[in-house]
Amino acid sequence: MNINPFGSTSIHVVQNHIKNQGPSANPSISQEALEKLEAAVREHRFDSFEPEEGCGIRPLEELDYNPFSKPELSTVFTNSQVSEKAQELSLLMDERDIAVHSQVGFGLTYDRDKLAQHFGEVGRQIDEAFSAGEISQQEYDDLNAGLNKYTEAVTSRAERSNALMAVLRNTQKMRDKLMARGASQEEIEAFSKWHRETLEDRIQEYIKTSCGIDRDLLVKLIQQVREGKDLIQPKARQASSGENLAGFFESSPAPLAPEESQESE
């Protein structure tokens, strides 16, 4: 049985389902696995999970939240001699999730304008350093190339993160409907298999149809910020991008699993 950490409500549903099987039942999820799963949900460390043999759970995709891990800098300098200012600016383009969160703000989803504001502010600092003669032409070119790479890496990840949250929310609704009508163990296992096998395709489809970020528009917005215009005011930047999650999820289309689509016909 594949379990996906959508929230504590779903965990309690699964726990109740196992209890209702009776003392003779042989559930495929142990209490230890459920506790580990609940801890992962609280820490937002998930993409999808499935039980291992025994009692553990195995993350299929897990973000790195180690603040002491080595920076993943986007900029590669052409020359071996690099000024202190250029090095300082390159540190603003660290592709690690925890570094991006610290710059853009923590949240389950990413807003396009917040991203453009962040990328534009980095570009603005690069421009100002070059105008002040603090970095060379080559360093300026290298930093701009790094900014382009950083922008694409973070934007692509943001699209996937936004799509993932919507798809998982939709899947939760489908699972809840199955559980509410008293689905059999076989039906639940079939649903979990469908979810596991189609998850990546549904994420990519959602990016394509609902949450893809227009790269041409993004470039224009970044340039506006570099030129001095602010898309996000300082107070708004502090707000978590997760504040409007309910509206984001409610507005997303919920694809039906094979079993559910047959019922509705």
- CA gap 63, 96 in Å, rounded: 9
Mean pLDDT of the chain: 75
Number of neighbouring beta carbons within 10 Å of residue 163? 23
Q: How many CA atoms lie within 13 A of 155 on its CB side?
A: 22
More confident of the two residues 155 and 54:
155
| Position 143 confidence tier, pLDDT thresholds 50, 70, 90 | very high
Share of the chain above pLDDT 90, in %: 53
The per-residue pLDDT for 26 is: 45
What mean pLDDT comes out for the span 205-225? 96
Asked if 75 and 123 count as a contact pair (C-beta separation under 8 A), the reply is: no
CA distance 60 to 52: 11
Span of 13-17, 79-83, 123-127, 133-137 with lowest mean pLDDT: 13-17
* pLDDT at position 32: 61
Sign of the C-alpha dihedral computed for residues 168, 173, 177 and 180 taken in this order = positive
Distance CA 117, CA 111 (A): 10
29-85 pLDDT tens trace: 556 655 655 555 444 444 444 433 333 333 444 444 565 678 899 999 999 999 999
- 170: amino acid identity, one letter: N
